[in-house]
Amino acid sequence: MSNLVNVPKNGSLANTNSNASFPSTSNWLDDIFNRDLPSVFTSNFNTGVSLPKVNIKETADAYVVEMAVPGLKKSDFKLDLDHNVLSISTEKKETHEEQQENYTRKEFGYSAFKRTFTLPETVNDDNISANYQDGILNILLPKKEEAKQKPARQIRIS
């Protein structure tokens, strides 16, 4: 919903609604749907929609992508490069079944994410490497030789 304000020609932003104490229908609906649900409604539900946090650092020779994804194995990841777009994704399914004499309990879980990054033209895509250790996925995106930062030097005046 939109919150539009009518601005009179004199430029003031005074509310000219004579029913200011009574909320309009759109304000009332906005209030209902934008309100946070009590934790009792949300605490037992996992939507499976969460994106891992990412740090991207630039050095003189490369870009480094660090993604926090604890609890996975390196075989859970899929890294794709297509037309300078790096895609990082994972999909994990878990099932657990417990059978006792009087009952059977089945639990299952599913989680997935996909992050995509458009790489600059300066990345040497033939030498991209990745490793996963201690819950952190590190991706090294080396720069092309011509894009590497050269050290400062003095120029002699003749």
Residues 119, 131 contacting (CB under 8 angstroms): no
Is residue 122 packed enough to be buried (19+ CB in 10 Å), middle (13-18) or exposed (0-12)? Answer: middle
Task: Please give the mean pLDDT across all residues of the chain.
Answer: 77
Closest of 68, 73, 86 to residue 137, by C-alpha: 68
pLDDT of residue 35: 56
What is the set of domains in the chain, with CATH numbers? 54-147 (2.60.40.790)
Q: Please classify residue 137 by burial: count the beta carbons closer than 10 Å to its beta carbon, then call 0-12 exposed, 13-18 middle and 19+ buried.
A: buried
> What is the distance between the alpha carbons of residues 158 and 153, in angstroms, rounded to a whole number?
16
Is pLDDT above 60 for 129? yes
Q: What pLDDT digit, counting tens, does each position of 33-74 carry?
A: 555 544 444 444 444 457 889 999 999 899 999 999 998 888
pTM of the model: 0.59
